Structure 1
Amino acid sequence: MLTDLDFAIFEANHVDGFVNEVEPAVAEALRGAGLAQVVDGSLEFTAVGPFWKFKNAVADTIAAVVGPQSELSDVSDGLWLIERTIRKALREAAIAASGGSWRRNLFNKAIADNVLGRARGDVYPTAATVSDLRDPTEWLSLGELLEVVRSPQFDGLSWDAVAWKHFTQDIVPIRNRLSHMRLLKKDDRATVRMWVNRVKLTLT
């Protein structure tokens, strides 16, 4: 309910007309709480006082949620499997193409410099090149990982451009919500489960 209100009020900025933009179950909950009522056949926001007070109350309530949501474990586990599987598939494709020099030939200089910088700043302070890293794919950001996988060198692995477009649209926002500790949305668990199944069937 909070994530639905968050979207309608803050992201979509529907102001007091938000009651007609939320999911039916949320609208019904607002009616049950006395915050909305049907007037001349349409649902209207009826809270006493200026709308900004309700808006601030929603923001305060969202900020006060510090415990993990019930679906957090499933979403986190699914994202872990998805991303690690893509990295594994990329590593295997790179080894198949370049053999022992796969690390050096994995990506362009700009990405290689980023990867080396991260690795040196963490656990490989003496590494001179990406060839010195056990597995350079582990130091790619998700955006870089997707860029490398979709590059002409790897041609999307076994997925075409349409599949990767849908994957990016579905998974990257969920990954961002989790990494920034924002509340997960209602359909996030189902979306992650769907992509877990696709990844298991086609990239392993």
Structure 2
Amino acid sequence: MTAGWYADVAERISSANYTFFHAAALRRSANFVDDLLGDLRDRGFDALLVDCAEVLRNGWRSALPVGQSGNLYVIWRPEALLRRSDFEDLIRQARPPVHSALMEGNRVVIVSTMPQMMFPVPVGSSVIADAAKVHPQPVSATLLRRVVPSLSSDTAERIVLRARGCVALAEGYALVDRSTASGNQKSREAEALLLATLREAFAELGPEILALLEHLVLECGVVDVPQMDLRDHWIAALEDAGLATIDDSTELVRLFHPSWRDTARLALSQALRAVLQPPSAWQKIATSLFELERTVRSVVSQGLEARYGEGWRQAGLGPLAPKVVALARAETQSDVGSVADLHSPLDWLVLDQLFALAAETAQHVRLGGISSREWRQFSERVVPVRNRMSHMRLPRPGDLDEVRRTLRILGARIRTTSVPSAGRQPGPADRDLNSVSAGAPRATHPPGAS
């Protein structure tokens, strides 16, 4: 096989000085870097590879030397930088040499196995986000025969149809077709190739989109999604990865080709199981849930005390009391006789029990200025997030926003209702409310924070 897979990419790069190419698993040939550089050089570019693994060792100035012109710098694998805790600093450091290279008459193309939207934008601008995206064309039978001349026209058409225009599959299926294996063995090899390629394609999308696909495909069985239900950058990432198409007539985003769907579900499940490190959003949600749950405990415990006085532990928990005692005994191995022996019995309640207790208590005292109905609504929104976190599942898009929104509402209500209305003296209800809010943590997040 000879180079030629990326002639269309080389042509698109020639139309702009500064570009980004998402070389997803379905888009990559077996010898991707050599094939891409070969097609760029055939196009007349003096293509120089800048491997970001080398940038980590020697810095950007060594990779993009000052004073040269007429080159095409191919910045390969910026995801190597993304794995570093100082990623934003490394990207900021790239701006001066990249801009200097462009000003000196060079071209720059950033080539990544990950979608452009996966890279956070540091304060200022990002050399990744600022680059114009290159969209490759689907592999045609003509291109396949040019790369693999031994294929007949009919065979090339059949392979391209099965590969759905994807370089990795077209190349792999061509190799399988040329082997001397039996027909059944060839079918098994082709299916194994599809499974492995799809699994890699899913892994490259990152945990946010993986969690989204888990919910849509594996939990809800949905593969045709209304375009309005998805954010634009999710759609762009899925399209660039070769995993989705948009049906303009119905405004549906169609996930996977119908002939791939069973294999795609298996590949998606395998990609999810392979995620062993928590995404950055997971830690933020865990921190926010900690603040939220302890705030609710404080509000509820003080509300129960306002209602029942010193005997609030025994009177306030009702049928939950035996469960609390049993859990406390099992975990602490201490001689707990009743909830009266526990300094903070609400610590043994899970969040849905805590919200239910808040809703019941709010019927009798002003609990943070929040009604029973609102406490139940909080539970419906937040408990599913907390359950996913407790089972170490990937957070879904929007989970962090949901928890932060609830925290903001709770904090604002506590602050507002703790101040008696002007022109009247505090009454018993205000006493109860002030008692509840005085010791509660204050969530002071500005609107829109997440």
Distance 1:170 1:66, change over 3 A: same
1:141 paired residue number: 350
| Residues 256 and 264 in structure 2, CA contact (< 8 A), matched pair in contact too | no
Task: Name structure 1 gaps, 5 residues minimum.
Answer: none
| Residues 303 and 365 in structure 2, CA contact (< 8 A), matched pair in contact too | no
The alignment status of 1:35 with 2:246, answered yes or no, reads: no
Among candidates 315, 339, 350, match of residue 105 of structure 1:
315
The residue correspondences of 1:79-94 to structure 2 (distance < 5 A) are: 79-94=289-304
The alignment status of 1:197 with 2:408, answered yes or no, reads: yes
1:177 paired residue number: 388
| Residues 359 and 376 in structure 2, CA contact (< 8 A), matched pair in contact too | no
Which of 1 and 2 has higher RCO (CA within 8 Å, sep 6+)? 1
**TM-score with structure 2 setting the length:** 0.41
Among candidates 71, 75, 87, match of residue 285 of structure 2:
75
- Larger mean CA deviation between 150-159 and 65-74 belongs to 150-159
Amino acid at match of 1:149: A
Greater share of helix residues, 1 or 2?
1
Write the distance in 2 (CA, Å) between the matches of 1:168 and 1:40.
38
Shift of 1:38: 4.9
Among candidates 48, 53, 61, match of residue 263 of structure 2:
53
Among candidates 78, 84, 95, match of residue 305 of structure 2:
95
Write the distance in 1 (CA, Å) between the matches of 2:381 and 2:243.
32
Q: CA RMSD in A?
A: 2.4
Shift of 1:32: 1.3
2:174 paired residue number: none
| Residues 4 and 26 in structure 1, CA contact (< 8 A), matched pair in contact too | no
**TM-score with structure 1 setting the length:** 0.86
Partner SS state of residue 76, structure 1: helix
Among candidates 356, 359, 370, match of residue 150 of structure 1:
359
2:398 paired residue number: 187
Greater share of strand residues, 1 or 2?
2
| Residues 119 and 139 in structure 1, CA contact (< 8 A), matched pair in contact too | yes
Distance 1:75 1:156, change over 3 A: farther
Write the distance in 1 (CA, Å) between the matches of 2:242 and 2:287.
38
Among candidates 89, 100, 114, match of residue 323 of structure 2:
114
Distance 1:172 1:44, change over 3 A: closer
Aligned residues: 202
Shift of 1:128: 1.1
Write the distance in 1 (CA, Å) between the matches of 2:281 and 2:254.
32
Write the distance in 2 (CA, Å) between the matches of 1:10 and 1:136.
38
| Residues 359 and 373 in structure 2, CA contact (< 8 A), matched pair in contact too | no
1:161 paired residue number: 372
Write the distance in 1 (CA, Å) between the matches of 2:294 and 2:394.
23
Write the distance in 1 (CA, Å) between the matches of 2:247 and 2:352.
48
Amino acid at match of 2:389: L
Shift of 1:202: 2.3
The alignment status of 1:11 with 2:219, answered yes or no, reads: yes
